[in-house]
Structures are given as structure tokens and as C-alpha cells.
Structure 1
Amino acid sequence: MNDNSTCEIYCYDEEKVNRIQGALQKENLSRVAQLFKVLADENRAKIAFALCQDDELCVCDIANIIGSTVATASHHLRTLHKQGIVKYRKEGKLAFYSLDTPHIKPLIVMALGVEANV
């Protein structure tokens, strides 16, 4: 099989490689990878999208939106909370969730690739 998608000889631009490696060392890309890993779950992506649509939702609302039980929604919300993506507040017996970082909304919009109403 003829694969033209790789270099046929080994040759690299040392200046570019050193510059980009230096930039990589200054960034915390493990945090970025973890963020995408958490959002890679479809239900957690739905929750993030839902919270882009409305500033704050209770766990019961979220469960209904994603079509799950309250226990399943709570599990996903705990995961999102541990990663610093959502925050919550209690009001009596209800727990209300909202996005904890302004960076999620633009990510969701970009990932959808459309002018989303978020």
C-alpha cells in the first residue's frame, strides 16, 4: 500500500522544533487534555451545552434535559465539578449548577461549528 501521507525522508526544522518545544514546556497541556477528556462524554457535553443555554439549572432539570436519572446526572455533575467546569449552590433541598469558567461556552460554540444560540 502506497501511503503518501508521511515524509519519505527524515528531515526537520531544528529552530521550529526548539521554539515549539519551549512553548510546550511553558503551558499546562495536561489540564487542557483533561478538560477535553471530561467533555468527551456525550452526557457531560450535553450538560455543558445546557448550562450554556441557561445560566443555572437544578439537577432535576439537567436529568430531564439529558434523559437520565437524577443519580446519573449527579454523577456527571460531580465529575464536571471536580474538574472545575461547573459550580453549584444549594437552595433548601435543591442543588443548582452553573458553569464555573467562562472558557467553556466558546469551546462548545466552536465545537458545534455553527452560530449556536449560547
Structure 2
Amino acid sequence: MLSTMKTMVSRAAAPDAGEHDAPASPALDAGEAERVANTLQALATPSRLRILSRLRQGPCTPSELAADVEMEQSSCSHQLRLLRNLGLVVRERQGRSVVYALYDDHVSALLDQAVYHVAHLRVGGTEA
């Protein structure tokens, strides 16, 4: 299962200029908008972004993760629980340890798109 988790966290490349034009999607209904907003809300906290970014490098235990992102383990565990409830991370028990990983490549791509968008705005790419 861990090898499957490692495969799931392969990084998605940021799009080249002009590739960020996605095909038109139908308008969101209220329920779908609520679910998407809840997921995106998870990305509104720097500590959660750092956790997800670290997990893009590969699965790890909560204690390793807390050390890597310089958080108290209890705070890190709380954030992991929230991220798991939102379907952004998965956990696997290995003996007495628990290992966390990104849910799938979509989470990595979502992070890449957010980082790409911020960088794009920073260099003056404001056209719609």
C-alpha cells in the first residue's frame, strides 16, 4: 500500500503559458459550491499548505511531518485530521505507526495550480 501511496504523490507540472484555459464547466449548484468551498478553505491556512507541500515529497509519520514543517505534533495532528476529513490526505497504519500521504495526484495538481497562479500574478500576468 505504501508504494501505492508513493505513486499517488507524483508531482503535476505547472501549466505552460496559455495552458491554464480549462474547458468551460457547468455552473456549480449550491451543494457542489459548498463542497468545493470547504475543500478550498483547507488551502487558506499556511500551516495546512506547508503540510500538503511536505507530503508532496512523499509519505511520512505525523512526528516526521511536524518536525519538517516546524509545528507542535498536536497541532500538526489536528490539521492532518481536518485534511483527511476533507479527502486531501490519506493515512495507513503500519504496525504501531501511522503514515500520511496526499490522497492522489489531484491534490498535488491543486497545489501546483495555486502556486502557479500566485507566481503568475506576481510577474504581472493579470489578463483574464
Q: TM (normalized to structure 2)?
A: 0.65
- The structure with the larger Rg is 1
Provide the residue aligned with 1:76 in structure 2: 79
Which residue of structure 1 aligns with residue 113 of structure 2?
110
Between the two proteins, the alignment pairs up a number of residues equal to 93
Residue 32 (structure 2) aligns with:
28
Q: Which protein, 1 or 2, shows the higher relative CO under an 8 Å CA cutoff with sep ≥ 6? A: 2
1:43 aligned residue (41, 47, 69): 47
* Matched-pair identity in %: 27
User: Structure 1: which amino acid aligns with 2:55?
Assistant: L
> 1:16-49 CA deviation, whole Å, 9 max, x = no partner?
xxxx9x7333981211111110121111111111
Asked if structure 2 preserves the Cα contact closer than 8 Å seen for 1:84 and 1:101, the reply is no
Consecutive unaligned residues of structure 1, counting only runs of 5 or more, are 1-19
Query: Does the alignment pair 1:58 with 2:36?
Result: no
Normalised by the length of structure 1, the TM-score is 0.70
Q: What is the match of residue 97 of structure 1? A: 100
Q: Which residue identity does 1:49 align to in structure 2?
A: S
- The CA distance in 2 between the partners of 1:25 and 1:70, in whole Å, is 38
**Alpha-carbon distance in 1 for matches of 2:43, 2:84:** 12
Shift of 1:77: 0.3
Which aligned runs of 4 or more in structure 1 are off by greater than 3 angstroms?
none
Which runs of 5 or more residues in structure 2 are unaligned? 1-23, 120-128
> Aligned with 2:55: secondary structure?
helix
CA change 1:111–1:74 in 2 (3 A) is same
Q: Distance in 2 between matches of 1:47 and 1:68?
A: 10
Instruction: Give the SS at the match of 1:23.
Output: coil
